């Protein structure tokens, strides 16, 4: 085992950290208060090649490995969960799914501009009555000859108002249950599509989250991803990628909580000494450090498996569950360390706590992941090989003409 980062990965971390310190940190308090999603951040991330960091160069990406994607998500969430979420959805849930399941025509039309950051992608699976129970979805896609007619709605969709392309899941044959769900690439500009942001969220207030609606939207046959009935397995494999980025982001929340707490421990004194000298405060700091190191090890193991082209559903589930729980505990302890000041937005830790709650719920609740891990250990759950896998890293070299 080699726990060293490459020079390229170290430089990437420094680049993203510097970006966060200059472009997000000075403004995030105001954006959070106003519930404002700053879309220009996406443009600047694209300029740095971060909207397609782990997509092969032949499809417009930076061609870096999957652990590099984790590094980007860690550092972005250190600034705020909203911008890690944007990369999670755009890259993890949408672009990586196109890379894994799309045909060449779909990759050229949708993946290339997304990888370059010219277009933004999102993911539409959750519905008002279908969260953990995916098969309860009501959205349908009726075969009308040259196209499908899409009707229904999705909720809690990140980038609902900012994305250009959406991966949408709908029933093409409800009688087949899970095997009757199909996946489609939907464009915002199509007639019958609309979106609406959700305001008043507990956390991630600087992000864009909401509902998308389909009123007799005509989806061309060539926008079917995979085959009819492949939707459920495509969605689950997409969640492997999304959960990986969420777990990595959780490490960023722990980092931010730890940095803020250590700083405050040296600034604040009680009973004649820095509060960091009190053992129960040290205990909370130590828990953060342990949570950060353990979470990173789980995340990087999942990333290593992705680099090797190996299925990682089990390992990614464990990383997502544990890292998100550790992040919530770290943010909660950070508020406690700050005392009454932690209850005010004068300090950032209350935002960390509010933000840290959502990842414990989305992309598989902690309860879902707990059950999954128990079933794996007991032998009740076994992952079958997928017909389509992400490409192994290093990616196969391509000619300059192909890249152009």
Active-site amino acid positions: 363
Q: How far apart are the first and last CA of the chain?
A: 37
Whole-number Å distance between alpha carbons of 94 and 111:
9
Do the Cβ atoms of 77 and 108 come closer than 8 Å?
no
Whole-number Å distance between alpha carbons of 390 and 371:
26
Taking residue 380's Cβ as centre, other Cβ atoms within 10 Å add up to 10
Do the Cβ atoms of 258 and 289 come closer than 8 Å?
yes
Strands 165-171 and 121-124 turn out to be parallel
- The tokens of 379 are what? 């032998």
- Residues in a beta bridge with 154: 212
């Amino acid at each position: 085992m080699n726990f060293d980062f490459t020079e390229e990965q170290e430089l990437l971390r420094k680049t993203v950290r510097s970006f966060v310190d200059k472009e997000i940190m000075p403004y995030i308090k105001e954006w959070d208060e106003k519930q404002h999603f700053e879309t220009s951040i996406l443009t600047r991330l694209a300029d740095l090649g971060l909207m397609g960091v782990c997509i092969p160069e032949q499809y417009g990406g930076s061609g870096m490995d999957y652990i590099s994607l984790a590094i980007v998500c860690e550092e972005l969430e250190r600034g705020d969960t909203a911008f890690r979420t944007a990369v999670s959805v755009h890259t993890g849930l949408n672009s990586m799914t196109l890379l894994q399941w799309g045909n060449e025509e779909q990759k050229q039309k949708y993946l290339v501009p997304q990888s370059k950051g010219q277009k933004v992608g999102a993911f539409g699976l959750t519905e008002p009555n279908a969260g953990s129970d995916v098969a309860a979805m009501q959205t349908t896609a009726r075969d009308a000859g040259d196209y499908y007619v899409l009707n229904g709605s999705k909720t809690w969709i990140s980038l609902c108002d900012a994305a250009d392309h959406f991966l949408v899941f709908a029933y093409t044959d409800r009688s087949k249950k899970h095997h009757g769900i199909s996946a489609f690439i939907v464009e915002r500009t199509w007639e019958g599509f609309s979106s609406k942001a959700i305001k008043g969220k507990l956390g991630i207030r600087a992000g864009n989250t909401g509902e998308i609606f389909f009123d007799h939207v005509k989806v061309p046959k060539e926008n079917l991803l995979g085959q009819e009935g492949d939707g459920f397995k495509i969605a689950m494999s997409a969640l492997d990628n999304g959960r990986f980025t969420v777990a990595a982001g959780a490490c960023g929340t722990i980092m931010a909580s730890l940095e803020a707490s250590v700083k405050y421990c040296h600034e604040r004194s009680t009973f004649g000494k820095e509060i960091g000298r009190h053992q129960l405060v040290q205990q909370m700091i130590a828990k953060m450090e342990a949570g950060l190191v353990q979470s990173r090890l789980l995340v990087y193991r999942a990333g290593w498996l992705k680099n090797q082209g190996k299925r990682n559903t089990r390992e990614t589930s464990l990383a997502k569950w544990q890292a998100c729980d550790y992040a919530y505990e770290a943010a909660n302890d950070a508020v406690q360390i700050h005392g009454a000041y932690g209850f005010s937005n004068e300090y950032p830790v209350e935002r960390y706590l509010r933000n840290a709650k959502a990842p414990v719920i989305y992309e598989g609740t902690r309860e879902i992941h707990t059950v999954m891990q128990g079933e794996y250990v007991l032998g009740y759950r076994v992952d079958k090989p997928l017909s389509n896998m992400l490409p192994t890293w290093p990616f196969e070299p391509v000619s300059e003409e192909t890249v152009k």
